[in-house]
Amino acid sequence: MLKVSATIAVLTALALGGTSAAAAEPSHAISMHGAPKYPAGFAQFDYVNPDAPKGGDFRLHAIGTFDTLNPYVIKGKPAAGLHHGFGNFFETLTRRSRDEPFSLYGLLAESIEMADDRGWIEFTLRAEARFSDGSPVTVDDVIFSWRTLKENGSPNARATWSRAKEVVQTGPRRVRFTFVDNSDRELPLLVAGFLPILSERWWKDRTFTETTLDPPIASGPYVIDSVEPGRAIVYRRNPDYWARDLAVSRGQFNLDTIRYDYFRDDSVALEAFKAGDYDYRGEGDAARWATQYDFPGLTEGRAVRETIENGTPSGLRALAFNLRRPLFAERRVRQALNLAFDFEWLNQALLHSGYARTAGMFSKSSLAPAGPPSPAEMKLLEPLRGQVPPEVFGPPFQPAATDGTGRDRTNLRQAAKLLKETGLIVRDGVLHTAEGAPFQFEITLRQPSNERIALAYARNLKRLGIEARVRLVESAQFQGLIDSYDFDMVFGFWGVTLSPGNEQQNYWSSLTADQPGGRNWAGVADPAVDAMISALGAARTREDLTAAARALDRILMWNYYVLPLYHDSGQRIAYWRKLSRPETVPVYGVRLETFWATN
């Protein structure tokens, strides 16, 4: 009898997912490393006001235009507020807490079960989960969403979701994802927290890859109320929202309407904010913050301006070299171009000393390299000796500094020496390649606020005999150039969290280097980088993750694949006093969904 029972158990395990790996008990939450902060039965997240009143209107802004309500394909420019990361419209199986590195709590799923080796993950859907038309969220919807995005989603989505080899129904409300392998320990959490669940009934007779202005059916707290193509979109809070009383929703989604109005550029948008045309603004430009926020509403106390500290990594704001261009193939050339960037002068003269220089993706966090590589880092890096720059094994990368006068030529002399070593020749004040062609390239940008930075950099490059043309393009054209990698150098930002993982593959992996529409703008295709991205995914402890993140950062920065720029010391926000926010700020900063109307 025991033998028969054991056989049945093995066959059952194989039928359910092809692995007999032990599973943890079903849980209300999962975490990337360690245990989730909030226990089963918790009341609400600590950073919300559970008694926040409902009602009122929330007006926001967006830049450019839009022509689709499907944010999950390359085609078209999606309207603001649609992506499931906002939590307003499309939903996922779990909701992320914002005061932990990476923990997820059941939303559409009431419980989560995961193999100890993370080779599979299984969800039990809530019986009460509903789309906005009242139809239930079913296992069929989950499987449809996975299959649709795997086959027709953006390149990054296709790459991620194709790593689930099968998705099967294992009970009336149960669905299991089984992965191609268990080398990436983050993958189950990506399924839980980042796979948007679509309504199969709504999408089945539509072409998913085409743009659409028909408001989709979704399960989130807001529905689309009205659309003015390219100009505005209005969301209305669904009074029948199925999850309004769950702990993961309490104190959030308080405003009755959320309206996004589109503006041509950020300068126009700022003037509209000061005139009271919208209610909340995050400011990324320190110069504007220092010089353009003196308006009556603020001086009279009708508006609020705050700089809020948080615990998130800086992310990487940088000028990316297009490594697909032969001009940037040589590391010493990229190093020389880094040396020509005079941050200290720019920060004083143009940015009102409002920024700190970025030394890597994880600046201002515990994930930033500190000192020489630790033993845990060396365990990852030592096999790569000879494949990575020798500087990787020493102190962390620090961009070269100047005296801030604008006349310090020390770095330019070093840059000229490096360029000469690579065979580049200056003739009549113009740098030439060995083939005799002038060394020239174009810097493409879409934000007018970056233009003066690019022009100042171009003036410094001129001293090296390099002609750098600055080209400002509108957002749709910029997106087209980026999607096809038709640029030389471009301003970009690569955001990271305290739990980096698969996004690094999208940013830097050989797998994504030539995928149209991807985020590997630089075209990095480096086996050493790939190895560190794999180490991130395989990390089992916080210590393993930190070592892999630091090692990855060292390799990227010492290869000069990008020219790091600068970062804010905190989150700059301004809003009119018709709004209030909770006093507690989570590690990831202020969240718009926690605001409420005061009158």
> Which pLDDT tens digits describe the chain residue by residue (599 residues)?
333 333 333 333 333 434 445 667 899 999 998 899 999 999 999 999 999 999 999 999 999 999 999 999 989 999 999 986 667 999 999 999 999 989 999 999 999 999 999 999 999 999 999 999 999 999 999 999 999 999 999 888 998 999 999 999 999 999 999 999 887 888 999 999 999 999 999 999 999 999 999 999 999 999 999 999 999 999 999 999 999 999 999 999 999 999 999 999 999 999 999 999 999 999 988 888 988 999 999 999 999 999 998 878 889 999 999 999 999 999 999 999 999 999 999 999 988 888 899 999 999 888 999 999 999 999 999 999 999 999 999 999 999 999 999 999 999 999 999 999 999 999 999 999 989 999 999 999 988 889 999 999 999 999 999 999 999 999 889 989 999 999 999 999 999 888 898 889 999 999 999 988 889 999 999 999 999 999 998 888 889 999 999 999 999 999 999 999 999 878 899 999 999 999 999 988 898 999 999 97
Beta strand pairing status for 440-445 and 467-472? parallel
Q: Which residues span the domain enclosing 483?
A: 316-567
CATH number for the domain including 473? 3.10.105.10
pTM, entire model: 0.74
d(CA 222, CA 235): 6
List CB contacts of 532: < 8 A, sequence separation 6 or more.
380, 548, 551, 552, 555
Over the stretch 250-296, which tens digit does the pLDDT of each residue have?
Answer: 999 999 999 999 999 999 999 999 999 999 999 988 888 988 999 99
* CA gap 437, 172 in Å, rounded: 67
The packing angle between helices 542-558 and 527-538, to 10°, is 160
Nearest to 563 by CA among 363, 408, 360: 360
Local structure of 56: helix, strand or coil: coil
Q: Is residue 83 part of a domain?
A: no
446 and 561 share a domain?
Answer: yes
Q: Which of 243, 283, 279 is nearest to 261 (CA)?
A: 279
| Whole-number pLDDT of residue 471 | 96
Domain membership of residue 458 (yes or no) is yes
**Cα distance between residue 352 and residue 349, in whole Å:** 6
Smallest CA-to-CA distance from 122 within 149, 151, 147, 93 is with 93
User: Considering only CA atoms, which of 270, 321, 265, 267 is closest in space to residue 475?
Assistant: 265
The strand pair at 316-321 and 562-564 is best described as antiparallel
Residues 271 and 393 in one domain: no
Alpha carbon distances (Å) from 474 to 362, 445, 446: 30, 9, 6
Beta strands in 296-434 (DSSP E): 303-308, 316-321, 356-357, 425-427, 430-432
CATH of residue 244's domain is 3.40.190
400 part of a folded domain? yes
Of the candidates 269, 270, 273, 454, the one whose C-alpha atom is nearest the C-alpha of residue 350 is: 454
Give per-residue pLDDT as tens, 372-411. 999 999 999 999 999 999 999 999 999 999 999 999 999 9
**Do both 475 and 536 map to the same domain?**
yes
Is 118 domain-assigned?
A: no
pLDDT computed for residue 23 by the predictor: 62
Name the residue with tokens 């890597």: 360
**For 59, which DSSP code?**
E
If asked whether residues 530 and 589 sit together in one domain, one would say no
- Asked if residue 460 and residue 376 are part of one domain, the reply reads yes
Which tokens in the block code for residue 454?
């690019």
Query: How far is 360 from 374, CA to CA, in rounded Å?
Result: 17
**Residues 307 and 320 reside in one and the same domain:** no
Residue 8 lies in a domain: no
Domain check: are 371 and 350 in the same one? yes
Q: Which residues contact 165 (CB under 8 A, 6 or more apart)?
A: 18, 178, 179, 180
Instruction: Say yes or no: 451 and 306 in one domain.
Output: no
Say if residue 257 is in the same domain as residue 398: no
Domain assignment of residue 581, yes or no: yes
Angle, CA 422 vertex, CA 418 and CA 426 arms, to 5°: 80
Beta pairing class for 109-114 and 440-445: unpaired
Are 590 and 489 members of one domain?
A: no
* Contact between residue 281 and residue 575 where contact means Cβ atoms under 8 Å apart: yes
Alpha helices in 223-306 (DSSP H): 266-274, 286-291, 296-299
Pair 537, 580 in one domain = no
Asked whether the beta carbons of 571 and 589 are under 8 A apart, the reply is yes
Same-domain pairing of 522 and 388: yes
Distance of CA 365 to the CA centre of its chain: 16
Q: Which residue, among 567, 433, 465, 561, has the nearest Cα to 504 in the 3D structure?
A: 561
Pick the closest to residue 590 from 573, 577, 569 (CA basis): 573
Number of domains the chain is built from? 2
Asked whether residue 68 is assigned to any structural domain, the reply reads no
Flag whether 500 is in a domain. Answer: yes
Give whole-number Cα distances, 433 to 420, 437, 439, in Å: 10, 5, 6
The full DSSP string for 561-594 is SEEE-EE-SSEEEEEETTEE--S---TT---GGG
